[in-house]
Amino acid sequence: MEKYELIAPCHFGLEAVLKREILDLGYEISKVEDGKVTFLADAQGIADANIFLRTTERILLKTGEVKAVTFDELFEKTKAIPWERYIPKDGRFWVAKANSIKSKLFSPSDIQSIMKKAIVERLKEVYHISWFPEDGPEFPIRVSFMKDIATIGIDTSGISLHKRGYRQMTVKAPITETLASALILLTPWNKDRILVDPFCGSGTFPIEAAMIAADIAPGMNRSFLAEQWRHLVPRGCWYQAKEEAMDRVKMDIETDIQGYDIDPEALKAARSNAKMAKVDKLIHLQQRPVSQLRHSKPYGFIITNPPYGERLEDREALPAIYKDLGESFRNLDKWSMYMITSYDRAENDIGRKADKNRKIYNGMLKTYFYQFLGPKPPRKTEKKESL
């Protein structure tokens, strides 16, 4: 199969997690940059990446990388890209998104318009037609300028990959599924360890943890734009990826994954979403304030997205919430806590300085992923049979 360069965007600060996921799928990394990882793959890789990667927003098929400081230069260099390799005569194509950082060309609408004209001119010459019906498969094109270098790709995913299909009900300011997965994968948690989210909202952290525990591929129950690109990605690639995804699911596991919230509507949404994700049997959800967080066993994990005071709560209420979280955490035996928040007094109110923290951009909001590390559990030793 022909090799392509694929671009996987992610949250700034979480590139290493996505890189590890791609390597685990067996594909070669060609570049890691702020907010994206580029890798080499064939048509099967397009299907695999969309179905199995938990931490990327979408998969782009890279068509070119050009330097352009004028619109004439952008037109000519866009036109020089072999678009006929990707877009058939009946393909519906448009420049869906353009962004620009530290570049002379910065108007998204002008970039989109110039590039569309250039692609039309190229395909007119190649296909010897003057009008395109555009009633076939969709090919939304995305371009990103950084210091006058334009990276151009076609979106293979369509709807963002954070939309797994299970979150039918939500609450205000939910964390995205891709970000929740990435944060879980940043921790040493595994399916044999306890996980509690005391501010679970619509259940994203517990649901993503349960999907990781049961090895449920995030994209196995949804569709993708590139499924219609049969000239590029044979249907067999999708069948193979989805069959592998089904074979990997392990529902006969025991887990201790819990979610608490004080809002009954949030819990209603969480239960509905867990059922839709088919992991409701692996999660325990309960209405309970963070002050009542208890667990009898040691070495557990709190992984949570508490209120920031941006949209959900008055900032005046935050000190008490974080103080209660800190007190509950101190009463847990040998636990670790991982928490994403933009609240700048989080450590002060919790009453402990984090062992580590990592800056992560959640959309345009700068947040920190605070890591309060507990001791590692003792290694399990196998009992040797006496001779």
Residues 75, 89: Cα–Cα separation, whole Å: 21
| Residue range 365-382: mean pLDDT, rounded | 88
Residue 25 pLDDT more than 90? yes
Biggest alpha carbon–alpha carbon distance for the chain: 85
Query: What is the DSSP code string of 94-148?
Result: EEEEEEEES-S---HHHHHHHHHHHHHHHHHHHHT-S-----SSEEEEEEEEETT
Residue 297 pLDDT more than 80? yes
Q: How confident is the model at residue 385 (pLDDT cuts 50, 70, 90)?
A: very low
Q: Which two tokens stand for residue 189?
A: 């948690």
**Beta bridge partners of residue 55, listed in sequence order:** none
- Give the number of other CB atoms < 10 A from CB of residue 67: 13
Residues 346, 324: Cα–Cα separation, whole Å: 11
Whether the CB-CB separation of 277 and 164 falls below 8 Å is answered with: yes
Task: Report pLDDT for 279.
Answer: 98
Q: Give Cβ neighbours of residue 140 (< 8 Å, ≥ 6 apart).
A: 93, 94, 95, 96, 97, 154, 155, 158, 225
265 to each of 170, 268, 274, 309, how far by Cα in Å?
A: 9, 5, 14, 19
Q: How confident is the model at residue 384 (pLDDT cuts 50, 70, 90)?
A: very low
What share of the chain has pLDDT > 70, as a percent?
A: 96
Q: Which two tokens stand for residue 90?
A: 């009946």
Whether the CB-CB separation of 18 and 63 falls below 8 Å is answered with: no
Residue 313 pLDDT more than 60? no
**Beta bridge partners of residue 316, listed in sequence order:** none
Whether the CB-CB separation of 129 and 89 falls below 8 Å is answered with: yes
57 to each of 36, 146, 155, 375, 377, how far by Cα in Å?
A: 10, 19, 11, 33, 34
Task: Report pLDDT for 282.
Answer: 98
| Residue range 263-275: mean pLDDT, rounded | 95
Residue 265 pLDDT more than 90? yes
Task: Report pLDDT for 147.
Answer: 97
250 to each of 191, 243, 342, how far by Cα in Å?
A: 11, 14, 36
Task: Report pLDDT for 310.
Answer: 62
Residue 71 pLDDT more than 50? yes
Domains of the chain: 4-155 (3.30.2130.30), 177-217+233-372 (3.40.50.150)
Torsion of Cα atoms, 31 then 35 then 41 then 43, to 10°: -160
Q: Give Cβ neighbours of residue 199 (< 8 Å, ≥ 6 apart).
A: 260, 261, 290, 304, 305, 306, 307
Q: Give Cβ neighbours of residue 265 (< 8 Å, ≥ 6 apart).
A: 171
* Segment (H or E) for 362: strand 356-362
Whether the CB-CB separation of 52 and 42 falls below 8 Å is answered with: no
pLDDT digits (tens, 9 = 90+) for 164-212: 999 877 776 679 999 999 999 999 999 999 999 999 999 999 999 999 9
Task: Report pLDDT for 166.
Answer: 93
